[in-house]
Amino acid sequence: MPVLRVLRSLPVAALLACAVAQQSPAPTAQQPTPAQTPAPAQAQQPAPPPTYHISVQEVLLDVVVTDKAGHPIPGLTAADFAVTEEGQPQAIRSLTWHAPMTAADVARLTATPPLPPNTFTNYTPIRNTNVATVILLDAMDTPITAQQYLRQDLIKYFRHMAPGTPVAIFQLDTEMHLIQGFSSDPQVLLAAAESKRDMPSLSKPIYGDRGQYRRARAQILRDGMRMMGRYLAGFPGRKNLIWFTGQAPMTIRLGYGFGDPFYDNFDVTGDDPTLDNLTATLTTSRIAVYPVDVRGLGILPGFSAAGPGRPGAYSAARYMYLHDQNYMNLERVANQTGGEAFDNLNEFGPLIARITSQTAGYYTLSYATTNQEWEGEYRNIALTVDRPGARLVYRHGYYAFNRDKPVARALKRHRTRAGAAPANTGSAPPPPPTVAKIPLTPIGALIRQPGHGGFGAAMRLGAVPPTEIVFVASVRPQAPIRKIGKNDPMPQDNFLAPPWQHKPFRIYDILFHASGRNIELTTTADGRHHGQVEFVAVLYDAEGEVVNTVQQNATFDLNDSLYLEMLQHGLPLMAHIAVPVKGNYFLRLGVHDVTSDAVGAMEIPIDQIRPDVAVPGFPVS
């Protein structure tokens, strides 16, 4: 039984087969080639005028404009704004106002229809499509008392929160956790805040000397932010990330390099998965970070009631230096993502309400930079508005990385893998493209589990589910229960781990259907579109042990019509995986675009899959 086969009963099956009928037939001994066939005499046609292609890259900014009372200012036009980049004036090409959504606006949005039986998706609709709030509880380097106070303040806020604005809750300790997905129901959010899912961390998760701790802390934060960015990528509109933390890793002092996990390097090659391939997971997902020092109003050592007396000059100066240094780190993150930093606060519920109110309406501005040299340098942006007393919050710069170079490297790797000849540079037409062959041999037990927020990390049990690629999966258990004898060889398409190889199991059919809109294909000189997508299923037991894995790589070589079909209808694929009959198991499904490193993933408890219902969408056997 094949573990994975191409679904040929749906219209997009031609995407994987690449339509041989559209290719020219190979010449034979009885059929002269075009070069051997004399062409009829024709009048010489004048040469067509040359066509020039100009590529201009635009810079996109979300801008919050408020009056003295903190209310959004509507009705502004592009003529009211002035933008400079490194001191050079820039021409604004577009300006869009995102008005606050009223209860009537939200009610008019079409509700997502319920899914059929045994059908699951990583798409989570949110009713307010203009702006959402993300709360991050950073348990690392945050005193336990501050964590407990923050938790109580959140509970108080959700008890009085007005419905309407979608809110998601994350917590970071040794890794990023999704405590509660987007919900605008205060009761759902209150239940999450009161549950044990966001209880304060009672011990430091990393041990070692100070340098080791800081490096590990920075790496965990980078990985966690990247995983969060992958999750938030599928949600529309602006996301305000309110990051409650005790201390940000050093971004300025040399040697402790937290680096910048929010910068705009969109590197499709992934040459450095820690930094370069971190990409703009937050800025390109329209996430503005609002860092908040959760330790509250600071008191100089020695001035507290418990202190023995006045502080020494050195200790006071050091305290102020570290406090200011931490705030500079928070402010730098805020400026580079379009948010705002806060410290010396003892009430956090009003701050959440304030940020939500001020960003309910905002502008999206774009301009085509006059500097089209893309060498990776950081470029400062300054924005003003012709309104007395108006206050602006926006992203203050970006890194000018050239995407043409990594795309060229991706094309080079494609040609190397496929053994393709270089494109013709003469006047003769290129030869007919070769048919892309989809390898149907399954690959098992191949999923690695590294950090860095990559595909392997997204496939871990309980990991934050990415939404960069949205997909639907229908699961159908086959009726017969099977068992492999102890002396029988394992079938080539069965990858059960040794402890489960000779126990009764049932085959589960998995019908993937991935959206084609976020799958990035590279285009060669002959006009063909190339790419590679991985479809993966990992089965875990209740202790997180890998029970079974299935992976398939689908390689694409599409003409324009097939590429358009993929965009319109998506990408279907059928997989089969063996699941033991007895036990508690979880199925983690993932789709990975190798070119762009975009990921979609979700997790399905096996006990939620009903064996007694008809599942629509499966082809007739």
Same domain, 266 and 408: no
Same domain, 390 and 252: no
The answer to whether position 111 is within a domain reads no
pLDDT per position as a tens digit, 104-124: 777 776 666 788 899 999 987
pLDDT per position as a tens digit, 557-572: 888 888 888 888 888 8
Average confidence (pLDDT) over 460-473:
90
Same domain, 570 and 464: yes
d(CA 351, CA 349): 5
Same domain, 237 and 289: yes
CA-wise closest residue to 394 among 47, 16, 64, 160: 64
Same domain, 286 and 232: yes
Q: SS in 3 state form for 23-39?
A: CCCCCECCECCCCCCCC
Average confidence (pLDDT) over 209-235:
79
Amino acid at 219: Q
Q: Which is it for the CA torsion 69, 71, 229, 336, positive or negative?
A: negative
Amino acid at 6: V
Q: Which is it for the CA torsion 206, 352, 157, 299, positive or negative?
A: positive
Same domain, 291 and 318: yes
Q: List CB contacts of 296: < 8 A, sequence separation 6 or more.
A: 146, 149, 344, 345, 346
Q: State residue 498 phi and psi, 5-degree precision.
A: -50, -40
The answer to whether the beta carbons of residues 586 and 120 sit under 8 Å apart is: no
pLDDT per position as a tens digit, 495-535: 899 999 999 999 999 999 998 888 888 888 888 888 889 99
Q: What is the pLDDT of residue 582?
A: 93
Helix H or strand E encompassing 66? strand 58-66
Tokens of 365: 């501005």
The answer to whether position 105 is within a domain reads no
Q: What is the pLDDT of residue 200?
A: 60
Give the whole-number percent of the chain exceeding pLDDT 70: 67
d(CA 574, CA 569): 16
Tokens of 424: 């013709």
Residues in the chain, overall count: 621
Tokens of 524: 């060669």
Same domain, 391 and 440: no
Same domain, 483 and 394: no
The answer to whether position 57 is within a domain reads no
The answer to whether position 54 is within a domain reads no
CA gyration radius, the chain:
28
Question: What is the count of structural domains for the chain?
Answer: 3
- Where is the domain boundary, 369, 388, 423? 423
Q: What is the pLDDT of residue 319?
A: 47
Same domain, 188 and 94: no
Q: Cβ of 266: how many Cβ atoms within 10 Å?
A: 18
CA-wise closest residue to 241 among 230, 229, 249: 229
pLDDT band at 298 (very low <50, low <70, confident <90, very high): low
The answer to whether position 564 is within a domain reads yes
- Where is the domain boundary, 371, 398, 423? 423
Query: Strands across the sheet with 4-5, in order?
Result: 4-5, 571-580, 505-514, 471-477, 119-121
Amino acid at 259: G
Asked which of 197-201, 271-275, 575-579 is least confident by mean pLDDT, the reply is: 271-275
Q: Is 103 helix (H, G, I), strand (E, B) or coil?
A: helix
Q: List CB contacts of 159: < 8 A, sequence separation 6 or more.
A: 186, 190
Average confidence (pLDDT) over 404-424:
46
pLDDT band at 55 (very low <50, low <70, confident <90, very high): low
CA-wise closest residue to 118 among 589, 596, 600: 589
Angle at which helices 349-358 and 144-160 cross, to 10°: 60
Asked which of 169-173, 279-283, 334-338, 371-375 is least confident by mean pLDDT, the reply is: 279-283
Same domain, 282 and 369: no
Q: Catalogue the E-assigned strands of 264-420.
A: 287-293, 362-368, 378-385, 391-393, 397-399
Same domain, 497 and 553: yes
pLDDT band at 386 (very low <50, low <70, confident <90, very high): very high
Amino acid at 313: A
Place of tokens 């300790």: 173
Cα 605-611-617 angle, rounded to 5 deg: 90
Give the whole-number percent of the chain exceeding pLDDT 90: 29
Q: Which domain holds residue 178?
A: 124-300+314-358
Q: What is the pLDDT of residue 12?
A: 33
Same domain, 319 and 407: no
d(CA 155, CA 542): 31
Asked which of 10-24, 214-228, 350-364 is least confident by mean pLDDT, the reply is: 10-24
Amino acid at 272: D
Q: Residue 335 pLDDT more than 50?
A: yes
The answer to whether the beta carbons of residues 397 and 85 sit under 8 Å apart is: no
Asked which of 13-17, 258-262, 447-451 is least confident by mean pLDDT, the reply is: 13-17
The answer to whether position 65 is within a domain reads no
pLDDT band at 206 (very low <50, low <70, confident <90, very high): low
Average confidence (pLDDT) over 15-43:
35
Q: Cβ of 615: how many Cβ atoms within 10 Å?
A: 17
The answer to whether position 46 is within a domain reads no
Q: List CB contacts of 133: < 8 A, sequence separation 6 or more.
A: 165, 166, 167, 168, 239, 240, 242, 352, 355, 356
Q: What is the pLDDT of residue 436?
A: 36
CA-wise closest residue to 73 among 341, 306, 294, 361: 361
Q: What is the pLDDT of residue 268?
A: 26
- Where is the domain boundary, 423, 451, 472? 423
CATH value at residue 176: 3.40.50.410
| Dihedral angle over CA of 376, 382, 385, 391, nearest 10 | 110
Q: Cβ of 197: how many Cβ atoms within 10 Å?
A: 14
Q: Residue 420 pLDDT more than 50?
A: no
